[in-house]
Structure 1
Amino acid sequence: MAKSTADDEELRRACESAIEGKENIVLSIRVAESRGIWDKSSKVGRHMAKPRVLALSTSSKGQTTEALLRVLKHSTGGVLEPAKLYKLKHLTKIEVMNNDPSGCTFMLGFYNLRSQSVVPPQWTMRNIDDRNRLLLSILNVCKDVIGRLPKVIGIDVVEMALWAKENTPTVTQITTHRSLPDGPIPATVTENDLKVNVEKELVSQVEEEDIEALLGTGSDVMGIGEAEAFSERMKRELLALEAANVHAILESEILIEEVLQGLEAATYCVEDMEEWLGIFNVKLRHMREDIASIETRNNKLEMQSVNNKALIEELDKLLECLRVPTEYAASLTGGSFDEANMLQNIEACEWLTNVLRGLEVPNLDPSYANMRAVKEKKTELEKLKSTFVQRATEFLKNYFSSLVDFMISDKSYFSQRGQLKRPDHADLRYKCRTYARLLQHLKSLDKNCLAPLRKAYCSSLNLLLRREACEFANELRASTKASKSPAVWLEGSTGSNQNVNSSDTSTVSEAYAKMLTIFIPLLVDESSFFAHFMCFEVPALVPPGGVSNGSKSRSYGDDNDDDDLGIVDIDDDGRSSAELEALNASLEELLDGIQEDFYAVVDWAYKMDPLRCISMHGITKKYLSGQKDDAAGFVRLLLDDLESRISMQFNRFVDEACHQIERNDRNVRQTGVLSYIPRFATLATRMEQYIQGQSRDLVDQSYSKFVSIMFVTLEKIAQSDPKNADVVLLENYAAFQNSLYDLANVVPTLAKFYHQASEAYEQACTRYISAIIYYQFERLFAFNQKIEDLLYTIPLEEIPFQLGLSKMDLRKILRSSLYSVDKSITTMYKKLQKQLTSDELLPSLWDKCKKEFLDKYESFVQLVAKIYPNESILSVSEMKGYFT
């Protein structure tokens, strides 16, 4: 018999290497895998068998052990690699295929396979011993590790047990070598490692001896030699035993009757007991009904007692609500609103508000609301409320007016000659805060009473703010020392080197900045105070104790602390558009008219120095960007109007300056650099000094207007004198570039116009130089142009035979044009020198003229050499010598 592959140590080591030694190999054996069925000729019908290796292994994870069945296949290099993995805990059956006559083919059934429609693989062993050895190992592992056995079909378990006993290996210990980092060391493999467990067999030792004795007796004594005959005899004996058992049962009939009689007597006793229990149950039911009736009466009495007590408490509370305390009634109907009595008035308001709220249906039981006493008391409380609201409204109106009248009558509150006075509303707000909580209670009692109060406060305070702004603006202008700058900047009559505005007008913009620094925070704070003081449901416009953006100082100390008002800011979700609209309308009434004093400062600053509009525009933009979108709407509108007015004034200055530039083209003739070119450079330098890192929009727009008008006017002046047009253009464009070179490096807008002037300068130079050259050498280059034109239509060798292009014509042209070429070049230079008014441009223009002429002449010489090869002509190097 051939050696089984289960004893192949090399195969076992290959399996351990394939699974990287993570599991303990119980058994490894070679098999053939197929999915077809065996036909009568014992051939695979559908698929060819594939060689595989089955490895039975165990894996320990903590305290649990898992049994695995691995399928390994040979890779291209002949090395084993894992192909499939089955868990034995999912194994349900082991079926030996009956259609394989050899009995070596079996199938393993797993219940967790994804597709049960696919035929499971069939495994074919080399011989019956290998099959039994593998199946026995699987059963042993299932019994030891899982604790249960799969169903075995097509093979006798007894036969398996007998085979196991006969084939128990005698070698209980073998030595293998396992590779470790320090080299191979011997490792002992015990009988358990061979995975053929004989001690834990499927049939016990006693059962096995009984079976052997029975088989021996049947074979020797009974003379039975075949299993089938033995099975038949056993069946007959079984039938005989069953018949004997039935007979024994029939013989015990007397005993059965005695048992039945005893059961019948017990039944009678049970029936009597059931009757007695029914009687007791009826009596107990009657008792339960009596007890329930007594409990119900007790519960009703207890509930009635509790309800009477609660009713008395509720009536006491209602009577307490309906009673008007004498001290509160006196304060509400005729009490004084002096500061000393305000605490008592506030307490009376709180009591009245709470009582009226308590008598409303959500807070009061609807059944109480229809009571006559409640209705009469509500009518009485409404009269108290209307009386108190009317008295408080009249008092506050007069109070606001008297406060403002007192401040206006005292001149020390306002700016005076030689002294700028910062508006101080600390005392005014302190006195108003005394009645802040009163206003809140008035709003709770009657929202409609706030409208006349807000109007009275706005009317009174508006007079104070306008007076403060007017006095401050007048004194600010009077105390500012600055000489007036002339409005004429770019007029042609002004000398180009004259400094138009040598005086320092920085105090003008400083005065405007001081106006904003003092009044913008004041107006924002006033808006915030008004919104909270008059109980508008909007968030704080200025953070408590904070300063509005863009301000340098506060107009008062910690007077804007809204905590003193007792007002809590609400969230944005609670702010309604109607409240915000009403607030903006009141703020417009509060601050209306104050903008005229700001406009007066802007107009005064424009008259002193129009360019100061640039600084003022930047200052306004800074303050405008510092305001919140929803804060002090009128202040934001005021800053917007100031920005628009400053832009309008500056645009007016730009328009006037542009008009001065346009007046230059009315002269009959102008030569040299126009006066507004250097004047614009001076103006641009001054404007850049006023920007000082602020927004460039206003200045860049003015640059675009200025330069556009300058270039248009220059083109008109040049067209009025066609003879010297290019000279005028190139001189003025060059002057524009020279005067703005430094600024163009740092100002992108001027850099764009600088490049535009550079292109126009190059074009004018090209036209002017061409005119100079053609004036002296017109016949020479006209002859050259005529030849170039004909080359497009006729061959090169036919050119000398054309009319006017013969060799004789060429000699005449050369004689007339190059006879006194040195004098002609001198004439060109003198003409260029005579027409230019700027000596600085002469060297560069002469270099361009020389280069242009030599390029044209070199082209002419090359063309003559091709068409008239035997004609002598002045060389290019000789021509260069004349220019040198």
Structure 2
Amino acid sequence: MTAIKHALQRDIFTPNDERLLSIVNVCKAGKKKKNCFLCATVTTERPVQVKVVKVKKSDKGDFYKRQMAWELRDLAEVDAKDASKENPEFDLHFEKVYRWVASSTAEKNSFISCIWKLNQRYLRKKVEFVNVSSQLLEELPKAEESVPSGESQSVAGGDEDALDDYQELNAREEQDIESMMEVCEYAISNAEAFAEKLSRELQVLDGANIQSIMASEKQVNILMQLLDEALAEVDTIEGKLSSYEEMLQSVKEQMDQISQSNRLIQISNTNNGKLLDEIQFLVNYMDLSKGHIRALQDGDLSSPKGIEACINASEALLQCMNVALRPGHDKLMAVKQQQHLFSELRDTFARRLTNHLNNVFVHQGHDQSSTLSQHTAELTLPKHSPLHRDLLRYAKLMEWLKNTHREKYEGLSRTYVDYMTRLYEREIKDFFEVAKIKMAGTTKEAKGKFGLHGSSGKLTGSTSSLNKLTVQGSNSRRSQSSSLLDMGNMSASDLDVADRTKFDKIFEQVLSELEPLCLAEQDFISKFFKLQQHPTITPPLPEMEDSDGGVPSRMPPQAEHRHSMSSEKDMVRLMMNKIFQSIETELNSLIALGDKIDSFHSLYMLVKMSHHVWTAENVDPASYLSTTLGNVLVIVKRNFDKCISGQIKQMEEVKISKKSKVGILPFVTGFEEFAELAETIFRNAERRGDLDKAYVKLIRAVFMNVEKVANESQKTPRDVVMMENFHHIFSTLSRLKISCLEAERREAKHKYTDHLQSYVINSLGQPLEKLNHFFEGVEARVAQGVREEEVSYQLAFNKQELRKVIKEYPGKEVKKGLDNLYKKVDKHLCEEESLLQVVWHSMQDEFIRQYKHFEGLIGRCYPGSGITMEFTIQDMLEYFSSIAQSH
């Protein structure tokens, strides 16, 4: 073990300026035995550091290496496991517990004893030793032996050998010994002679030392005398220092007292500063000036200066009442008194303000009522801007009342609504009476028309004569009441464009007067009562119900967004509904009157109402005006759809005369007039889609009923009825260029062309009837499989029969037949459409085509026969031209 100790000291600890004091061979408890060494070391430099170092042999086994080190001051406990029995196990409690098993109990005890001595000597914090024998725990000697120069002190002076069996020579000692041994060459070969020489030299040196000491006795005496004097001076200085210390002690006590007093003064100043801050806080935030108190108690609420003073005072009072008191302030008597004063001032001013505003409402109401007579004869609504301007001066006071006295604020709101409801009801009623009078007209003729018709568009007299329309001759066609212009069962001569323009202007004037009135009142309510009126979500334009009477695809805006609106928005809406509760009723009544006078008015109303709804939505989607007009727009759209449905029903009920030709059907010309007027009304309109849907329904009904009348016609051929009416429809659609009816325009052209061709072919078969029948038989034989050159051998179609048929139609006879055909066509066709020349020219082309076809058949079926027609193509052209010119 000693050799290992020396090796560790030399290889590991000496390079680190450390001394190895104790060593123990250990292994970890409960694991495979991997031996290592625990070493107790101290540093050679001050301050002394004591460590426990774990040293382990390298894997190759040729040298030792330092693995881990702990400071002794970090050691909390040493547990020897058993104090009475020998036990090699022990624990060291650093930041964690390390369990060790020593190679022998003696090594363990020696190591623990060294740790105990190092702990007693160098550490203030004593380590706790558990299960350690008292014999091992010995006190260190009080006397400490100094260690050689350059080395640290030993653990215990008297026990140096116990802690360190070997002391290494320092560099100087090694040098002296080497120089001495060099002088004596036989020092190594003859140690005894070398020792004797050293002994003799030592004796010589001792004698020299004694002689030197005896020679310096006088200097020693002088030195001792100086030491005695120095000791006397030291005593004197110590006495003075003691007196100074006593004086300083008294000064220290006085300074302590002064420091204590200063600390108390500082605490007092701090408390006084905090108290001053609290007082300033209460004074600054809970003190109301006398001027504000006078304004709240006796301020003039009728003058602008008085109102401004009351506004400032009310705001100052509200700030004082809403100040955030700190904990404990509410228990102060002064604070309670101020709060009581503020409550009294608040209640007093709230009563004064409420009474004054009630009087203002009544006073302004009387002044406004006096001006109603000025507007009774005009189609205008009184302006309330002066009333609003006067009341808006109190807007901030209303906001104060809303925040302080909610009940009085709501009471004023109800009072204002009740007063304004009565005022607006009178104004709106008178306004709509004037509108109805102007709409009905002042002439007796207009009044007569107003009294004749109901809202359903039926005459109070004989309705059957108009519901069951009859088709008369072409000369009296324009006098019939069967066109679409008769939207309300009134004749076209009764209601002209000027009447409808007048109605359009009146209806536009009504809407133009209502719009600024409602918007101004809603804006005033939101500002005066401090209510939010603009919603966060913009509702879309309300969808109207389809023309087939289905339910609307979207609810009105006020129902769709009711859950998303705040209570203040609801309050604005409720106030506006209450104030203007008569507007929707009066508008519906006016619309019913317009529809009663003329169902065509629904077109004007749909366009105007849609435009105003769109405008109101852009200004404020949540306004009462946009909501109300949206509801009324639904009614207008229903009237429009009912008007279209009524016209379709009249088409279906139309009857034709059996004694006269049909010509252009009344509902065809009526659709033309309807489309012309609708295109004028709906130019650049927002709801063009509604008109397009109506166009499609009407044109399909027109198509269907034209075919129905054509099938039922007895006097006029079906092809003529179809040709003339579809030509008229095609011309109308081509002229108006209605984009949504482009497919119907092409269909009308197709039907017109087909029926023109059919009529021409059928009509041409009559002048050359036998010739047509003969060649039809020839074509039939060829179709049955007979070769064309063999047709002449058929008995009924031989050359003799062909010559006989051709002789029956000489040029004179053909011209006579064509003249009769022209007269017949002229009887079939009507004058309005002017299709006679078109039909005659088509017949000419068809006749020429047939002539060429007949000649071709003759050439193919009767080759070399020399048979030709009695007339030529040039003869036919002269016939057609002369007949057309003669008529």
TM-score between both structures, scaled by the size of structure 2: 0.54
User: 2:433 matched to which residue of 1?
Assistant: 474
Structure 2 distance, partners of 1:583, 1:805, is 102
Alpha-carbon contact 1:492-1:675 (below 8 Å) kept = no
User: 2:310 matched to which residue of 1?
Assistant: 345
Alpha-carbon contact 2:533-2:623 (below 8 Å) kept = no
Structure 2 residue corresponding to 1:527, chosen from 510, 522, 525: 522
SS class of match (1:626): helix
Alpha-carbon contact 1:403-1:428 (below 8 Å) kept = yes
User: 2:586 matched to which residue of 1?
Assistant: 597
Structure 1 residue corresponding to 2:532, chosen from 521, 529, 537: 537
Alpha-carbon contact 1:854-1:880 (below 8 Å) kept = no
Alpha-carbon contact 1:672-1:732 (below 8 Å) kept = no
SS class of match (1:429): helix
Structure 2 residue corresponding to 1:318, chosen from 282, 291, 307: 282
Deviation at 1:509, TM superposition (A): 2.0
Matched, 1:681 2:641: no
Structure 2 distance, partners of 1:866, 1:295, is 150
Q: CA 1:576/1:866 → structure 2, altered by over 3 Å: closer, same or farther?
A: same
Matched, 1:848 2:837: no
User: 1:635 matched to which residue of 2?
Assistant: 625
Structure 1 distance, partners of 2:857, 2:471, is 54
Matched, 1:415 2:375: yes
User: 2:573 matched to which residue of 1?
Assistant: 584
Paired AA for residue 756 in structure 1: E
Q: Deviations over 1:39-76 (max 9, x none)?
A: xxxxxxxxxxxxxxxxxxxxxxxxxxxxxxxxxxxxxx
Structure 2 distance, partners of 1:308, 1:877, is 141
Deviation at 1:354, TM superposition (A): 0.5
- Correspondence 1:257-656 to 2 at 5 A: 301-302=265-266, 304-318=268-282, 321=285, 337-339=301-303, 341-358=306-323, 363-369=324-330, 374=335, 378=339, 381-382=342-343, 385-386=346-347, 388-389=349-350, 392-393=353-354, 395-397=356-358, 399-408=360-369, 410=370, 412=372, 414-417=374-377, 419=378, 422-447=381-406, 449-478=408-437, 495-497=476-478, 500=493, 501-502=495-496, 504-505=498-499, 506-538=501-533, 577-629=566-618, 630-631=620-621, 633-656=623-646
Deviation at 1:387, TM superposition (A): 5.5
Alpha-carbon contact 1:661-1:710 (below 8 Å) kept = yes
Deviation at 1:880, TM superposition (A): 6.1
Deviation at 1:423, TM superposition (A): 1.0
User: 1:732 matched to which residue of 2?
Assistant: 725
Listed as ranges, the gaps of 5+ residues in structure 2 are: 1-174, 180-244, 458-465, 480-491, 537-563, 879-887
User: 1:671 matched to which residue of 2?
Assistant: 661
Deviation at 1:344, TM superposition (A): 4.5
Aligned length: 557
Q: CA 1:338/1:411 → structure 2, altered by over 3 Å: closer, same or farther?
A: closer
Alpha-carbon contact 1:618-1:691 (below 8 Å) kept = yes
Structure 1 distance, partners of 2:477, 2:373, is 51
Paired AA for residue 400 in structure 1: F
Structure 1 distance, partners of 2:261, 2:790, is 149
Structure 2 distance, partners of 1:377, 1:805, is 137
TM-score between both structures, scaled by the size of structure 1: 0.54
Paired AA for residue 802 in structure 2: L
- Structure scoring higher RCO (CA < 8 A, sep ≥ 6) equals 2
SS class of match (1:594): helix
Alpha-carbon contact 1:733-1:760 (below 8 Å) kept = yes
Structure 2 distance, partners of 1:860, 1:577, is 89
Structure 2 distance, partners of 1:369, 1:810, is 135
- Correspondence 1:702-851 to 2 at 5 A: 702-721=694-713, 724-737=717-730, 740=732, 743-744=735-736, 746-749=737-740, 753-774=744-765, 776=769, 777-783=771-777, 785-787=779-781, 789-790=783-784, 797=787, 806=794, 809=797, 811=799, 814-815=802-803, 817-821=805-809, 822=811, 823=813, 826-827=816-817, 830-831=820-821, 833-835=823-825, 836-838=828-830, 840-851=834-845
Paired AA for residue 354 in structure 1: Q
User: 2:141 matched to which residue of 1?
Assistant: none
Q: CA 1:876/1:758 → structure 2, altered by over 3 Å: closer, same or farther?
A: farther
Q: Deviations over 1:680-713 (max 9, x none)?
A: 4344444444456545445544444443333322
User: 1:79 matched to which residue of 2?
Assistant: none
Paired AA for residue 809 in structure 1: F
Q: CA 1:751/1:320 → structure 2, altered by over 3 Å: closer, same or farther?
A: closer
Alpha-carbon contact 1:400-1:460 (below 8 Å) kept = yes
Structure 2 distance, partners of 1:765, 1:812, is 36
- Correspondence 1:38-187 to 2 at 5 A: none
User: 1:278 matched to which residue of 2?
Assistant: none
Deviation at 1:637, TM superposition (A): 2.2
Deviation at 1:593, TM superposition (A): 0.7
Alpha-carbon contact 1:807-1:868 (below 8 Å) kept = no
Percent of aligned pairs with the same amino acid: 17
Deviation at 1:814, TM superposition (A): 3.4
Structure 1 distance, partners of 2:801, 2:582, is 86
Q: CA 1:421/1:768 → structure 2, altered by over 3 Å: closer, same or farther?
A: closer
Deviation at 1:636, TM superposition (A): 0.9
Paired AA for residue 700 in structure 2: S
Q: CA 1:816/1:322 → structure 2, altered by over 3 Å: closer, same or farther?
A: same
Q: Deviations over 1:280-314 (max 9, x none)?
A: xxx9xx99x99999999867754641442232231
Q: CA 1:434/1:844 → structure 2, altered by over 3 Å: closer, same or farther?
A: closer
Aligned alpha-carbon RMSD (Å): 4.6
Paired AA for residue 313 in structure 1: D
Alpha-carbon contact 2:438-2:506 (below 8 Å) kept = no
Paired AA for residue 613 in structure 2: L
Paired AA for residue 419 in structure 2: S
Alpha-carbon contact 2:806-2:869 (below 8 Å) kept = no
Alpha-carbon contact 2:301-2:356 (below 8 Å) kept = yes
SS class of match (2:835): helix
Q: Deviations over 1:859-879 (max 9, x none)?
A: 565466556645555379935
Alpha-carbon contact 2:470-2:657 (below 8 Å) kept = no
Deviation at 1:730, TM superposition (A): 1.4
Alpha-carbon contact 1:414-1:421 (below 8 Å) kept = no
User: 1:191 matched to which residue of 2?
Assistant: none
Deviation at 1:447, TM superposition (A): 4.4
SS class of match (2:616): coil
Alpha-carbon contact 1:496-1:679 (below 8 Å) kept = no
Listed as ranges, the gaps of 5+ residues in structure 1 are: 1-249, 255-282, 542-574
Alpha-carbon contact 2:296-2:313 (below 8 Å) kept = yes
Paired AA for residue 436 in structure 1: A
Paired AA for residue 415 in structure 1: H
Deviation at 1:652, TM superposition (A): 4.3
Q: Deviations over 1:144-180 (max 9, x none)?
A: xxxxxxxxxxxxxxxxxxxxxxxxxxxxxxxxxxxxx
Deviation at 1:323, TM superposition (A): 5.6
Alpha-carbon contact 1:729-1:761 (below 8 Å) kept = yes
SS class of match (1:535): coil
Alpha-carbon contact 1:718-1:729 (below 8 Å) kept = yes
SS class of match (2:498): coil
Paired AA for residue 526 in structure 1: E
